C-alpha cells in the first residue's frame, strides 16, 4: 500500500463508508494460501478494504470492497473474481468500485452472486443512502493518511513486522477466534521489551492490539454464553472455559500431554494454562454480563489507536466520545481488556495507564 496508489481515493471512500455504518475496516488485507508447502510464506492476493459488521447477536458479516482504478477486465468478469474471493475467504458479500460505469445488465447479473458493481459516483450515492455525511473526515479512522502512518510503524521498526501482519491479515480473515486470540497474546509477549510508552507509534500499536483482542473476544463470549449457566460454580465455569478457549477438551489435553513430555515426564503436577488465567476468568465473567455490548467496543478501540497518529481534533474526539458513551460499559470493558492484555503479555504498565488516560481525555 503506497500513498501514490491510483485507487487511494476509492479506498478512502470505502473506509469512510465502513466507519459511517459502524463497521470495522481493515485496509490491504493479504490473503494466504490455505496450506503453505514451501519454505517461504506467500500471499495469493489482497483485499483492498474489508468491512466487518460485528452484530449484537454474535454473528459477523464480512464485506469485501474491491477498488479498481483501471478496468483491465470487464465488470462482470471482475464480479466473478470477487465472488470467488468472497467464497475463499468465507465473506458474505462483495462491493466492486470501478472507474467506468458498468453495464446495467452486468450489475443485475453480479447481484445474483452477491456482488454489487458501482462506479465511483454511484458508490458515493449508495453510501450516502446509508449515511448522509459518510464522506466527511470526522473520525481518526476515516483519514486514509492515518492508515499509511500505521503501516509506516512496521517499516520503521522491523521487529514489529510479524505482529503487524498478524493484526492486519490474520485477525480479519480468521474463523478460529480462540486460536487468533492466543496468537495475539503470543506476538505481544515476543515484542514486549521493544515497546516504549513514550512513543506515539508504539502506543498506536498497543492500542490496535487491544482492538484486535476485543475483536476476537466478542464472538468468543457470544458463543460461550449459549452454554454458560450463571448457576455454575467457579470450578464448573473454569473447566468449561479452559476447554473452550483451547479449542475443545481433546485439544487442551493434547497440549497438556505435550508439555508433560517436554518436562521429561517426571512432573506429575505440570499445569497448562492461559497466561494470567485467574484474571482472564474474571474478565470473561464480566463480559458475560453484557455480551451484546462487546461489538460496540471495537470501532472506538480502533479510533483510539489511530488517535495516537493524528493531530488531536475536537470534532474527531467528539465522534469517539459518541461511540464510547453509547453505553457506560464500553469504557469499562476496554479498560478491563487493556489491563488483562498488559498483565498477560508483560508489556510495560505505563502503556495500559496511558491507554486509560487517552480514553478519559476524550470523555
Rg, the chain, Cα only = 21
- Tell me, yes or no, whether 302 and 171 share the same domain: yes
- Are 119 and 151 in a shared domain? no
Residue 110 lies in a domain: yes
Q: Identify the domain containing residue 314 by its residue range.
A: 144-362
Contacts 24+ apart (CB under 8 A), 337-343: 337/210, 337/213, 337/214, 337/217, 337/283, 337/297, 338/210, 339/279, 340/276, 340/279, 340/280, 340/283, 341/185, 341/188, 341/209, 341/210, 341/213, 343/276, 343/279
Q: In 3-state terms, what secondary structure has residue 287? A: helix
Strand partners, 96: 66, 117
What is the sign of the dihedral through the CA atoms of 240, 243, 248 and 254?
A: negative
* 88 and 202 co-located in one domain: no
In the chain, % helix, strand, coil (3-state, to 5) comes to 60, 10, 30
Q: Considering the domain boundaries, does residue 326 fall inside one? A: yes
Cα distances from 277 to residues 267, 273, 340, in angstroms, run 21, 6, 10
Q: Supply the CATH number for residue 71's domain.
A: 3.40.1350.10
Which pLDDT value is given to residue 1? 56
DSSP code of residue 167: I
DSSP 109: H
Residue 44, pLDDT score: 87
Same domain, 125 and 148: no
Domain assignment present for 139? no
**Number of folded domains that form the chain:** 2
> What global pTM score does this model have?
0.92
Q: Is beta strand 93-98 parallel, antiparallel or unpaired with respect to 60-68?
A: parallel
**Is position 202 within any domain?**
yes
77 and 174 in a common domain: no
Give yes or no: residues 266 and 358 share one domain.
Answer: yes
Going by their DSSP bridges, the two strands 60-68 and 43-54 should be labelled as antiparallel
Asked, for residue 101, whether it belongs to a domain, the answer is yes
User: Do residue 159 and residue 49 come from a single domain?
Assistant: no
Low-confidence ranges of the chain (pLDDT < 50): 270
Q: In this structure, are 170 and 217 located in the same domain?
A: yes
Per-residue confidence (pLDDT) for residue 255, from 0 to 100 = 79
**137 found inside a domain:** no
What distance in Å separates the CA atoms of residue 292 and residue 181, rounded to the nearest whole number? 19
Each residue of 24-78: pLDDT tens digit? 999 999 998 877 666 677 788 999 999 999 998 888 999 999 998 776 788 899 9
| pLDDT tens figures, 166-180 | 999 999 999 999 999
Report yes or no on 213 lying in a domain.
Answer: yes
User: Environment class of residue 258 by beta-carbon count within 10 Å: exposed (0-12), middle (13-18) or buried (19+)?
Assistant: exposed
Q: Are residues 43 and 148 in the same domain?
A: no
Amino acid at each position: 500500500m503506497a500513498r501514490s496508489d491510483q485507487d487511494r481515493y476509492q479506498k478512502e471512500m470505502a473506509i469512510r463508508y465502513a466507519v459511517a455504518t459502524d463497521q470495522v475496516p481493515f485496509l490491504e488485507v493479504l490473503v494466504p494460501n490455505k496450506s503453505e508447502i514451501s519454505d517461504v510464506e506467500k500471499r495469493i492476493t489482497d483485499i483492498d478494504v474489508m468491512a466487518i459488521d460485528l452484530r449484537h447477536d454474535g454473528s459477523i458479516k464480512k464485506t469485501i470492497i474491491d477498488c479498481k482504478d483501471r478496468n483491465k477486465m470487464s465488470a462482470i468478469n471482475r464480479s466473478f473474481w470477487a465472488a470467488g474471493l468472497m467464497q475463499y475467504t468465507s465473506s458474505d458479500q462483495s462491493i466492486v468500485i470501478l472507474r467506468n460505469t458498468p453495464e446495467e445488465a452486468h450489475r443485475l447479473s453480479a447481484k445474483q452472486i452477491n456482488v454489487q458493481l458501482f462506479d465511483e459516483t454511484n458508490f458515493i450515492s449508495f453510501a450516502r443512502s446509508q449515511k448522509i455525511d459518510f464522506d466527511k473526515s470526522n473520525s481518526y479512522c476515516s483519514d486514509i493518511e492515518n492508515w499509511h502512518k500505521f503501516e509506516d510503524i512496521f517499516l520503521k521498526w522491523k521487529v514489529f513486522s510479524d505482529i503487524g501482519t498478524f493484526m492486519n491479515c490474520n485477525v480479519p480473515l480468521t474463523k478460529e477466534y480462540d486460536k487468533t486470540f492466543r496468537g495475539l497474546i503470543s506476538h505481544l509477549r515476543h515484542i514486549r521489551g521493544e515497546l516504549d510508552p513514550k512513543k506515539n507509534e508504539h502506543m498506536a500499536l498497543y492500542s490496535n492490539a487491544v482492538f484486535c483482542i476485543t475483536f476476537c473476544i466478542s464472538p468468543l463470549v457470544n458463543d460461550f454464553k449459549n452454554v454458560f449457566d450463571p448457576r455454575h460454580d467457579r470450578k464448573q465455569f473454569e473447566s468449561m472455559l479452559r476447554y473452550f478457549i483451547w479449542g475443545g477438551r481433546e485439544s487442551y489435553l493434547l497440549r497438556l500431554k505435550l508439555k508433560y513430555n517436554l518436562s521429561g515426564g517426571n512432573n506429575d503436577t505440570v499445569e497448562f494454562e492461559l497466561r494470567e488465567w485467574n484474571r482472564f476468568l474474571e474478565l470473561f465473567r464480566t463480559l458475560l454480563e453484557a455480551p451484546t455490548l462487546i461489538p460496540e467496543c471495537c470501532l472506538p478501540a480502533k479510533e483510539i489507536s489511530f488517535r495516537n497518529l493524528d493531530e488531536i481534533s475536537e470534532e474527531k474526539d467528539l465522534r469517539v466520545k459518541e461511540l464510547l458513551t453509547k453505553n457506560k460499559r464500553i469504557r469499562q470493558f476496554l479498560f478491563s481488556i487493556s489491563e488483562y492484555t498488559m498483565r498477560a503479555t508483560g508489556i510495560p504498565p505505563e502503556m495500559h495507564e496511558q491507554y486509560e488516560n487517552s480514553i478519559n481525555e476524550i470523555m
